[in-house]
Amino acid sequence: SQQGEEDPQALSIQEGENATMNCSYKTSINNLQWYRQNSGRGLVHLILIRSNEREKHSGRLRVTLDTSKKSSSLLITASRAADTASYFCEDNFNKFYFGSGTKLNVKP
């Protein structure tokens, strides 16, 4: 397939724990982006990491990029119930395609 693929498909954790989700892509990228989608709502952009960056932070979010493995990971630290959502990666090089996402459930 053309799109980035997220792994795992579903993740259930307790509030306060860290959540890690991964994304693999097929070809070279210009940059890679992570989005969050609350159930039945639009996607919200979280963070962009460029192909020449290896790690990026934004609040409780940490994104890493390994271009040699064509993979990225999103870490959410000290998770909250409000983090319950689906998370998607998107690599611009493949023109706007998304994977199936990781469905994160944070239990209070």
Partner 1 sequence: ETGVTQTPRHLVMGMTNKKSLKCEQHLGHNAMYWYKQSAKKPLELMFVYNFKEQTENNSVPSRFSPECPNSSHLFLHLHTLQPEDSALYLCASSHGLAGGARTGELFFGEGSRLTVL
DSSP string, 51-103: TT-SEEEETTEEEEEETTTTEEEEEE-S--GGG-EEEEEEEGGG-S-B---EE
User: 15 or 92: whose CB is closer to partner 1?
Assistant: 92
CB of 16 to partner 1, least distance (A): 29
Binding to partner 1 by residue 40, rule CB under 8 A?
yes
Residues of this chain, 65-94, that bind partner 1 according to CB under 8 A: 88, 90, 92-93
**What is the strand order of the sheet 71-76 is part of?**
5-7, 19-24, 71-76, 61-66, 55-58
β-strand partners of 21: 74
Determine the Cα–Cα distance for residues 84 and 66; give it in Å rounded to an integer: 26
Binding to partner 1 by residue 101, rule CB under 8 A?
yes
> For partner 1, which residue of 31, 51, 67, 73 counts as binding (CB under 8 A)?
31
Binding to partner 1 by residue 42, rule CB under 8 A?
yes
> For partner 1, which residue of 10, 12, 18, 45 counts as binding (CB under 8 A)?
45
User: 15 or 26: whose CB is closer to partner 1?
Assistant: 26
Determine the Cα–Cα distance for residues 70 and 27; give it in Å rounded to an integer: 8
Residue ranges that bind partner 1, judged by CB under 8 A: 3, 30-31, 33, 35, 40-45, 48, 88, 90, 92-93, 95-101
